[in-house]
Structure 1
Amino acid sequence: MSDQPLLSVNDVSKFYGSRVGCRDVSFDLYPGEVLAVVGESGSGKTTLLNCISTRLEPTNGSVTYRMRDETTRDLYQMSEAERRFLMRTDWGFVHQNPADGLRMAVSAGANVGERLMAVGDRHYGNIRETAIDWLGRVEINEDRVDDQPRAFSGGMRQRLQIARNLVTGPRLIFMDEPTGGLDVSVQARLLDLIRGLVSDLGLAAIVVTHDLAVARLLSHRMIVMKDGHVIESGLTDRVLDDPHQPYTQLLVSSILQV
């Protein structure tokens, strides 16, 4: 891992009137590192993810990102066009509901190919070949390349969404409950796939999840949120094996009792 952060979050807060979405959140994310953001529904974890990924403007604070040319930019000082380009090229966003991250009325191959076209690839043969290669990497057979996502199962749609996000070689992936709503057996295969791809490609990732098993499997570090605040953070195994805060202890013990 580099000794320079890829992403720095500094005192980020988001308020909805008098309601706190998240408050005074700070952390650094390094290249190749996976950070899990965990907490119950309403803890502020998705609000935080949306603020970091420029989908939602924070009320206070800043988010800086180290570009490929090694300059560090404040994301909210960038133009809308610059941020959109970053989202299409250097970043990926995997939604809990794959339909939110796919174009359901075009083929699987076109869903992957669109990202390539966003970075300037115009050769149809190359685009199709790369799309087929990426479908194979996420365990979708080549003969499904012309099928629309609406013909796919939930697990296949999620794998397609992952291929669409990773085809441009991003350095940072945001994931919002990536295995939510899937059967347990499908979840297990998908988690194995995500873990392998993140490791092979050296990706940095921020994974929002309420599932501590997902956090343990995927992340190096984690932060625990409650009522919009970070109440505990540290190496994933340390937090889960020796939680210091009563709330974290409760989360961990509730999993153990299931």
Structure 2
Amino acid sequence: MTDTSPWLLRASGLSRYYGNRIGCQDVGFELWPGEVLAIVGESGSGKTTLLNCLSGRLTPTAGVVEYRMRDGTARGVFSLSEAERRFLARTDWGFVHQDARDGLRMSVSAGGNVGERLMAIGGRNYGAIRATALDWLGRVEIAEDRIDDRPDAFSGGMRQRLQIARNLVTGPRLVFMDEPTSGLDVSVQARLLDLLRGLVADLGLAAIIVTHDLAVARMISHRLMVMRAGKVVESGLTDQVLDDPQSPYAQLLVASVLQP
């Protein structure tokens, strides 16, 4: 019988160890369709390890990650075949890297970067692919006349917007983001965040975003998990956690960043 509960992604007892060192330990949560979850913590807290386990890029030492497929069935991410996981990553999922160079083909034009993902799911009509690429470049505020330019001719902010277009063009249901605004100028960060927030809302996307920036988390996420030394020390609605943190570590983190 198909499980009819509403979650889209569920983690249970998720742990990853590097020898005796903890990457993440005993993490569990459910993510709902259209929900944005931010994972925050200082460098080395385990947030990127957790993101990589959730997205199937890193095999956990223990625990389960389940994803609800479009037909309503729940599948264990690590019980999928390699081909099934690759197809999922090309269709239902997106992954936005901190460095856009890791998520783009730098030797391929902007339009080609967007079009490649369409071709990976069966697109063959060149005119239709190019038209869709043009549409998506417009959505991420890249001028149409840059469609044939390669990403190495773009600024950092433009490359990140191109990476977003490449990920969203196939209409995914879930997007993983690893520090997507890190390393960008403040004004560029604000523009990118505003764009991301609008696209996530307009498309009804679920997203998991890793960030060290609590202001970013407040702006884009509905729910927040605070990590320290591989463990989740606090979780809840974003505004509640940031305005009234309960754990000593979350209180310290919020006080050091958000309060004057």
- TM-score, structure 1 normalization: 0.98
Residue of structure 2 equivalent to 1:185: 187
Equivalent-residue separation in structure 1 for 2:5 and 2:59 (angstroms) = 28
| Structure 2 unaligned residues grouped into runs of 5+ | none
Residue of structure 2 equivalent to 1:201: 203
Residue of structure 2 equivalent to 1:137: 139
Residue of structure 2 equivalent to 1:228: 230
Do structure 1's residue 24 and structure 2's residue 26 form an aligned pair?
yes
AA at the equivalent of 1:103: R
Do structure 1's residue 165 and structure 2's residue 206 form an aligned pair?
no
Equivalent-residue separation in structure 1 for 2:92 and 2:73 (angstroms) = 14
Taking the TM superposition and a 5 Å limit, the aligned residue runs for 1:1-12 are: 4-12=6-14
Question: Which of 100, 125, 128 does residue 123 from structure 1 map onto?
Answer: 125
AA at the equivalent of 1:49: L
Taking the TM superposition and a 5 Å limit, the aligned residue runs for 1:33-52 are: 33-52=35-54
Q: CA deviation at 1:5?
A: 0.3
Taking the TM superposition and a 5 Å limit, the aligned residue runs for 1:74-85 are: 74-85=76-87
AA at the equivalent of 2:176: F
| Structure 1 unaligned residues grouped into runs of 5+ | none
Say which SS state the counterpart of residue 123 (structure 2) adopts: coil
AA at the equivalent of 1:90: D
AA at the equivalent of 1:235: L
Assess if the C-alpha contact under 8 Å between 2:45 and 2:229 holds in 1: yes
Equivalent-residue separation in structure 2 for 1:196 and 1:169 (angstroms) = 15
Residue of structure 1 equivalent to 2:158: 156
Q: CA deviation at 1:256?
A: 2.7
Equivalent-residue separation in structure 2 for 1:144 and 1:3 (angstroms) = 44
Residue of structure 2 equivalent to 1:251: 253
Residue of structure 2 equivalent to 1:98: 100
Equivalent-residue separation in structure 1 for 2:190 and 2:6 (angstroms) = 33
Q: CA deviation at 1:255?
A: 1.1
Do structure 1's residue 53 and structure 2's residue 60 form an aligned pair?
no
Equivalent-residue separation in structure 2 for 1:102 and 1:257 (angstroms) = 37
Assess if the C-alpha contact under 8 Å between 1:3 and 1:30 holds in 2: no
CA distances 1:163-182 after superposition (whole Å, capped 9, x unpaired): 00000000000000000000
AA at the equivalent of 1:112: V
Say which SS state the counterpart of residue 87 (structure 1) adopts: helix
AA at the equivalent of 2:116: E
Say which SS state the counterpart of residue 180 (structure 1) adopts: coil
Q: In percent, how many aligned pairs have the same letter?
A: 74
Say which SS state the counterpart of residue 182 (structure 2) adopts: coil
Q: CA deviation at 1:125?
A: 0.1
Aligned length: 257
AA at the equivalent of 1:86: L
Equivalent-residue separation in structure 2 for 1:250 and 1:184 (angstroms) = 24
CA distances 1:138-193 after superposition (whole Å, capped 9, x unpaired): 00000000000000000000000000000000000000000000000000000000
Taking the TM superposition and a 5 Å limit, the aligned residue runs for 1:210-221 are: 210-221=212-223
Runs of 4+ with >4 A deviation: none
Equivalent-residue separation in structure 1 for 2:104 and 2:227 (angstroms) = 29
